[in-house]
Structure 1
Amino acid sequence: MLTIAALLLFLTGLAHSYLGERYILIRLFKRDNLPKLFGGTDFTTGTLRFVWHLLTLVWWGISAIVLLASGQNLDTASVLRVFSIVALVSGLLPLYFTGGRHLSWIIFFTVGALLWLGSFRMA
């Protein structure tokens, strides 16, 4: 039951990213009235794109936690490591999509590192 729930969460994230990119974001970015931040619309589109895909990463992280729970391998250190990986990968999104101009990557990397290091204190 939990494995099916984890799989559904993972697939939902996959569908969210693919379908959102194909049917929502691309069409949205063709509009000529997007806010021009930092001199153009590149920052705006990059921010919208990374935030859209960030939700997919969060669903995948929840899926991993549910999968760990299904195998009864859910301990505090494992939960912290999963969320650490989610935070670290989340930090890559603003670096890639905004060229690092959206400074959330600093927070994501810091949180990811702190969670990873903290997980060893729980093991």
Structure 2
Amino acid sequence: MLTIAALLLFLTGVAHSYLGERYILIRLFKRDNLPKLFGGTDFTTGTLRFVWHLLTLVWWGIAAIVFLVSGQTPDAALILRVFSIVALISGLFPLYFTRGRHLSWIVFFAVGVLLWVGSP
């Protein structure tokens, strides 16, 4: 169960970065009304791109920890339950802000349940 949860987290990160870059960021950056910070829009676009992909990195880090603690590390149950709660709360954000239209909440809830049930 933990390996499946880690894989789901990793794939969610891949989808987030690829689809976000292709369908959101590139189109956003073509707009002519982006804030001009520090003399231009380069800082704005760089910051938005960095923050966007940072979320992917965070979920990949969580996926790595989940995978590593699946080997019965001491306190693994506590660590996994904390990450389970993080995943479940993360699932609430798209439910609230998009009224469930962004389907990532399904993956986050699945990961949260798999982590909770799969914890030793």
Fold similarity call, TM over 0.5:
yes
Structure 1 residue runs without a partner (length 5+): 80-123
**Deviation at residue 28 of structure 1 after TM alignment:** 0.3
The alignment status of 1:55 with 2:78, answered yes or no, reads no
Task: Tell me which residue corresponds to 2:33.
Answer: 33
Task: Tell me which residue corresponds to 2:69.
Answer: 69
**Deviation at residue 73 of structure 1 after TM alignment:** 3.8
For the residues of structure 1 that align with 2:16 and 2:37, how far apart are their CA atoms? 26
Which aligned segments of 4 or more residues in structure 1 are displaced greater than 4 angstroms? none
For the residues of structure 2 that align with 1:74 and 1:19, how far apart are their CA atoms? 37
TM score, norm. by length of structure 1: 0.59
**Deviation at residue 5 of structure 1 after TM alignment:** 0.2
Q: Give the counterpart letter for 2:3 in structure 1.
A: T
For the residues of structure 2 that align with 1:75 and 1:56, how far apart are their CA atoms? 26
- Residues 37, 43 of structure 1: 8 Å contact kept: yes
Residues paired across the two proteins, number: 77
Task: Tell me which residue corresponds to 1:46.
Answer: 46
Q: Give the counterpart letter for 1:34 in structure 2.
A: L
Task: Tell me which residue corresponds to 1:5.
Answer: 5
Q: Percent identity?
A: 90
Structure 2 residue runs without a partner (length 5+): 80-120
In structure 2, the CA distance between the partners of 1:62 and 1:6, relative to structure 1 (3 Å rule), is same
TM score, norm. by length of structure 2: 0.60
SS at match of 1:35: coil
